[in-house]
Structure 1
Amino acid sequence: MRNSDRVLRVQHQLTERDWRLLGWLYDHAVLTSFQIAHALFPSLNRAQRRLSQLTGLGLVERFRPFRLEGGSHPYHYALAHTGALIVAATRGDEPPRRATSTTRLHRIATSRNLDHRLGINQFFTDLAGHERLHPGARLHHFWPDTRLNRFFNPPGTNAFGLVNADALGVWAERGQTVAFYLEHDTGTEALTVLVDKLTGYGNLVRRGGPAWPVLFWLHSTTREANLHRRLADRKLNVPAATAARDRLDGKNPAEAVWHLHGAAAPLLRLAELPMPGTVDPAEFDSASPGRTR
């Protein structure tokens, strides 16, 4: 069967939830079964059944990374070739060759940065899980680093700049909307590297870009305290907020876990972080990496 026929045959079997999942995998490479279940399904069992069906349709592939210390990882899911063709078609992108899809899958499965990528994706699937359980909450946009490490035009501005964030998100809850950059920290970089990253964001603001908050998603409270001490010596042109994963105590990144640098106020919810102006999520659609369905 020709690729185009395959696409036409399976696309009518997809739900709105399937389209969202395939779009995430197209942009963000890989998600575990647990991340997918938490973000999109009422139970792990329901998620596993649907993922098995999508695998059978040739839309996704699954693998388990090698674990040196033994044991097994959960299944990791990435786009299969037909899934990539379908998403590319809906976005008007050049359809990938089968060899390209195979190479991409192999690179995802063997990447040294797999854990870092999964950590970034965990942040956003946690937000999506919060959205699923809280009417009125919405993860409007979740852009990958591959979109942001090119020059781009922030909606509503004429500024161009090089942003090396791990991801960009647009989140709304309780009538408030925030656009933010995410820096997912695993503790391997020197704190001076984290502090210096704010220079790039400040340069974008000086060129007329928006002063959207930069979130440092840190692995420990010790590192968080040390980072705030380093930031005390810097003049910041963008809001910087931190949260330490070891003090979450089961809380979600949407909740009041954010320590805004320089503020004496209590911890803030994600949607409460300061914005330079009103954010319209629809303005991101024309600037997003490809059209959404």
Structure 2
Amino acid sequence: MSITQHTPQRALRSAAPGQATPRCANTAEHQARLAWRLTPRDRWIIRMLHEHRVLTSTQITALAFPSYRSGTQRLRELYLWSVIDRFQPFASVGTAPMHYVLGTAGAAVLAAEEGLEVKDLGYRHNRAFGVAHNLRLAHLVGVNEWFTALIAATRHVTARHDNRADGSEPGRDTAVGAWWSEARCARHFGDLTKPDAYGRFHRDGRHVEFFLEFDQGTEALAKLAGKLAGYAALAAATGITTPLLIWLPTARREASARRQLHRIWQGLDQPDTVPVATAAAGLLDPHAAHPSPADPVWLPLHISPGATPAGAGARLPLHHLAEAWPNVHPPESAAHPSDNRGGADGADGNPPDHGRDTGTRAEQPHRLAPPHPMPPVGSRHAARPRR
């Protein structure tokens, strides 16, 4: 799957049967062997799967490995060790990539690192595999693909800078500072609105934090536009203005959505508290080396597509969106997400404390901090372009 392509849910029907492969049992002896087998990158993958439920082989390799081959080799080892599990949905056209979820041994490792029992994580093996038959699997994979493309492009920009002797290339401080899953967003904001994700992006001294609504073209546009009221209520309750990014599959659907969104947006009591920008996957250059949401495809809702000749000049790259909303300023604590990029366990990846959390760590010990979306520093050498 690629961010420039749209995969409908009907194309992912059920898990295809596969041949059984001998795997390690999750015993105490096996856990002891894993203590020296698992690398910081492996442990980061465990946390990412716990947070985001399912990641495909192409997504994991793009996030953390130098090539698809090296990534799949390591994923196979983790699978044989029962650290991760996998399934392959049936695809009506072509072959779907392998989809990975957290395995029993991986859950045990994560619980031990946190000083918890596996049950305290809310992990159950059958529940982890349940995503294979979830009717929203394509949507979940699509959201994860969106962030994967953003992070992969970010890592390649950083790698190009690291290879320059003078260190003068723009984008040297590019980083994705946070990536919250839909489930985490629901726990924090679900009484008012349910974003598909929360993120934070930093490049060339510019910072933007945002909520993401990922549209696959299956939802009525009136329902999509109606979500603005929830974001307005959240802004009023917290006193924080957070931009909303709406990603659509085609430019045609984006044009239709913008008309309905603009009408609802103007009717809000305080429209300025809900900055909105739209973009479409169809606007990405499919021939680019690493097309991603960071590209100049974003159009703030208050700017008309005809504001410049052909409307193309109004499109902004992701990190320039803050300039379209001069009254939106990211908190100082979010100033440099690349400074605390994940180590062996990953940085917590939390946005600043905005009063959004619904409970403290003491009240909810099983709610782990989100893993930092950037891979561990030790794996940065793996950011070479895929061949």
Pick the aligned partner of 1:216 from 232, 246, 254. 246
8 Å CA contact retained: 1:93, 1:290: no
Pick the aligned partner of 1:269 from 317, 340, 355. 317
Q: For 1:138 and 1:210, how far apart are their aligned partners in 2?
A: 23
Taking a change above 3 Å as real, the CA distance of residues 97 and 238 of structure 1, as seen in their structure-2 partners, is closer
Please state whether the residue corresponding to 1:231 is helix, strand or coil. helix
Query: What's the TM-score once normalised by structure 2's chain length?
Result: 0.67
Matches within 5 A, 1:100-119: 101-119=124-142
Query: What's the TM-score once normalised by structure 1's chain length?
Result: 0.87
Matches within 5 A, 1:270-285: 270-274=318-322, 276-279=328-331, 280-281=333-334, 284=351
RMSD of aligned residue pairs (Cα, Å): 2.7
Query: Which residue is 1:190 aligned to?
Result: 220
Q: For 1:257 and 1:92, how far apart are their aligned partners in 2?
A: 44
Tell me how far 1:151 sits from its aligned partner: 3.6
Query: Which residue is 2:186 aligned to?
Result: 149
Pick the aligned partner of 2:175 from 138, 152, 176. 138
Q: For 2:284 and 2:139, how far apart are their aligned partners in 1?
A: 19
Taking a change above 3 Å as real, the CA distance of residues 266 and 94 of structure 1, as seen in their structure-2 partners, is farther
**2:47 counterpart of 1:23:** yes
Q: For 1:171 and 1:133, how far apart are their aligned partners in 2?
A: 15
Please state whether the residue corresponding to 1:147 is helix, strand or coil. helix
Taking a change above 3 Å as real, the CA distance of residues 90 and 132 of structure 1, as seen in their structure-2 partners, is same
Matches within 5 A, 1:143-182: 143-151=180-188, 162-182=192-212
8 Å CA contact retained: 1:150, 1:162: no
8 Å CA contact retained: 1:150, 1:163: no
Q: For 1:254 and 1:11, how far apart are their aligned partners in 2?
A: 37
**2:315 counterpart of 1:246:** no
- Larger relative contact order (CA 8 Å, sep ≥ 6): 2
Unaligned runs of 5+ in 2: 1-24, 159-172, 308-312, 335-348, 362-366, 373-387
Greater CA drift, 115-124 or 260-269 = 260-269
Q: Deviations over 1:214-260 (max 9, x none)?
A: 11110111111111112232323311111111121133101211111
Q: Percent identity?
A: 33
Q: For 1:6 and 1:162, how far apart are their aligned partners in 2?
A: 44
Q: Deviations over 1:51-88 (max 9, x none)?
A: 11211222111211133x36531111111011122223
Taking a change above 3 Å as real, the CA distance of residues 261 and 92 of structure 1, as seen in their structure-2 partners, is farther
Taking a change above 3 Å as real, the CA distance of residues 198 and 8 of structure 1, as seen in their structure-2 partners, is farther
Q: For 1:139 and 1:90, how far apart are their aligned partners in 2?
A: 25
8 Å CA contact retained: 1:213, 1:273: no
The number of aligned residues is 285
Unaligned runs of 5+ in 1: 153-159
Pick the aligned partner of 2:96 from 73, 79, 82. 73
Please state whether the residue corresponding to 1:172 is helix, strand or coil. strand
Taking a change above 3 Å as real, the CA distance of residues 31 and 207 of structure 1, as seen in their structure-2 partners, is same
Tell me how far 1:14 sits from its aligned partner: 2.6
Query: Which residue is 2:106 aligned to?
Result: 83
Tell me how far 1:36 sits from its aligned partner: 1.3
Q: For 1:26 and 1:109, how far apart are their aligned partners in 2?
A: 15
Q: For 1:57 and 1:150, how far apart are their aligned partners in 2?
A: 32
Q: Which has the larger radius of gyration?
A: 2
Tell me how far 1:105 sits from its aligned partner: 2.9
Taking a change above 3 Å as real, the CA distance of residues 131 and 87 of structure 1, as seen in their structure-2 partners, is farther
Pick the aligned partner of 2:259 from 197, 216, 229. 229
Greater CA drift, 92-101 or 165-174 = 92-101
8 Å CA contact retained: 1:172, 1:178: yes
Greater CA drift, 198-207 or 258-267 = 258-267
Q: For 2:224 and 2:302, how far apart are their aligned partners in 1?
A: 17
**AA of the residue aligned to 1:253:** P
8 Å CA contact retained: 2:26, 2:105: no
Taking a change above 3 Å as real, the CA distance of residues 232 and 112 of structure 1, as seen in their structure-2 partners, is closer
**AA of the residue aligned to 2:84:** V
Pick the aligned partner of 1:64 from 77, 84, 88. 88
Please state whether the residue corresponding to 1:73 is helix, strand or coil. coil
Greater CA drift, 91-100 or 46-55 = 91-100
